[in-house]
Amino acid sequence: MKNIPLFYTYFDSPVGRLLLAGDQKSLHFLSFPGGRKAFGPQPAWTMSDVHFDAVKEQLSLYFSGSLEVFDLPLTLHGTDFQKRVWELLMEISFGATRTYGRLAEKLGTPKASRAVGAANGSNPIPIIIPCHRVIGSTGKLTGFGGGIDTKRFLLDLESPSKKLL
């Protein structure tokens, strides 16, 4: 994330002001306003709203409950293992959850739940790559870069019971 010449803007959401960063073709980062993984724009980045219309539109639809699957070009910065985990995260359906252990099994490395957790925690584009849908083996909400309250909000937003209203 250091000195990558990107553009950035902000999106006001129900979970706070989200930082969006990307190039002319794809989104690279999304950061929450608080929590242990929050970060701000890097010195080499340029403030610009021009490249983020599709991202903002889809985030608006998601937060209004009208969008369940994002369709955006993404550029992922991470190891091969992290990218495999993030690809699995994108397979978790709206309103569903998975455990770290189940994701590790799906990767063919059933004893790697901690490594899956670390990769999940390094997700550069939360919400869009739905790391909030991963929970502990007991069903407990575990650590989340945007904070547990944000994770709970996102899971409640996606709750199947909301669709009955």
Is residue 58 within 8 Å of residue 13, measured between CB atoms?
A: no
As a whole number of angstroms, the distance between CA 11 and CA 33 comes to 10
Q: Which residues touch 70 (CB under 8 Å, ≥6 apart)?
A: 58, 62, 128
Token readout for 114 is 């901690």
> DSSP per residue over 59-78, as a string?
HHHHHTT--SS----B---S
Token readout for 2 is 């250091």
Token readout for 92 is 């978790």
Instruction: Judge whether 121 counts as a catalytic residue.
Output: no
Question: CA-CA distances (angstroms) from residue 156 to 94, 149, 163?
Answer: 11, 10, 11
Check 89, 103, 131, 154 and give the catalytic one: 131
Q: Which residues are catalytic?
A: 131
